Amino acid sequence: EAGLYADRLSVNIEIPTISGLKLLAPDKKHEDFIKPMQKVKDEIIRYKEEKKIIKSTSKYAPAGQSTQMIIGATGESDKDIMYSATHFYKNFKMKRVYYSGYVPISSDSRLPSLGSEVPMLRENRLYQTDWLLRFYGFSVNEILDVNNPNLDMDIDPKLMWALRNLNHFPIDINKADARMLARIPGIGMGSVHKIISGRKYRNLNWEHLKKMGVALNRAQYFIICNSNDWERRDLDANKIKGMILQSQHSKYKNIHNNQLSLFN
């Protein structure tokens, strides 16, 4: 009934893993969350199908469903968290998964005592990864795997991926498809569309990219504007990361002072 009144319904999974839920809330079962999630998914599908036949059919949760998980309370890695989120996106057609850092508010010995709150920066990195998975064409195993179970707190996940995959670069701005353009650090989806549109009329150069809003302080290490543009640089991933972090206009400057930002 709530689905006929609410734009969106949310069944919060609470803890990213079954083992974590069992540790903190042994009286709760994973199925207690899954069954209503499946119910909401099925009802959304049913109402949409009925509306195709009977136009007067009411809308059911037209903005879909979401869920939320607490991070940092039970020691899951970023890999565990994002693989769990990917599962819910795929199997329950979630519109959003929300990540909420654990805040110790009780001295109860049965609850985790972290000494300090989960940094907002970790939440930010998870949301950035979530954005890459939903809108930039990345798969979760490209960003997080057994060898890289946690996100880099110094840089955003797209730059983290690029530095681990320098063999894909440099990318020619005037030739690359949308998928590869979207993987270049410093280039957001808005700039991708501008690049594809603009290069129909001329070969784009550095000045064009700057006017389009490309963050050249990051993108410059991964792109060329023509085949003669690239000077062989003796730069490895650590050197590039260091130069970006030291850049005067870098969004990463003062990152440890909780200067949070979304990436292009």
pTM of the model: 0.87
Q: Name the β-bridge partners of 68.
A: 98
Q: Is residue 188 a contact partner of residue 264, using CB atoms and an 8 Å limit? A: yes
Q: Would the CA dihedral through 239, 240, 243, 246 be positive or negative? A: negative
Residue 124 CB neighbour total at 10 angstroms: 21
What are the domain boundaries of the chain? 2-138, 157-257
CA 87 to CA 229: how far, in whole Å? 42
CA 191 to CA 23: how far, in whole Å? 45
Once rounded to an integer, what is the mean pLDDT over residues 193-204?
95
CA 20 to CA 199: how far, in whole Å? 50
- Compute the residue count for the chain: 264
Q: Name the β-bridge partners of 65.
A: 9
Mean pLDDT across the chain, nearest whole number? 88
Q: Is residue 76 a contact partner of residue 17, using CB atoms and an 8 Å limit? A: yes
- Percent of all residues in the chain with a pLDDT value above 70, rounded to a whole number: 89
CA 172 to CA 170: how far, in whole Å? 7
Stronger pLDDT, 175 or 251, i.e. the higher one: 175
Per-residue pLDDT for 251 more than 80?
no
Q: Would the CA dihedral through 80, 85, 112, 123 be positive or negative? A: positive
| Residue range 125-141, pLDDT digits in tens | 999 999 999 999 999 99
| Residue range 54-78, pLDDT digits in tens | 999 999 999 999 999 999 988 899 9
Q: Is residue 102 a contact partner of residue 112, using CB atoms and an 8 Å limit? A: yes
- Identity of the amino acid at 117: E
- Identify each DSSP E strand in 106-234 by its residue range: 171-172, 223-224
| Residue range 138-159, pLDDT digits in tens | 999 999 999 999 999 999 999 9
* Fold held by 2-138: Transcription Regulator spoIIAA (3.30.750)
Residue 115 binned pLDDT confidence (cut-offs 50, 70, 90): low
Place of tokens 């991708």: 192
49-59 burial: b if 16+ Cβ within 10 Å, else e: eeeeeeeeeee
**Paired tokens of 46:** 């049913």
97's enclosing H/E stretch is strand 96-101
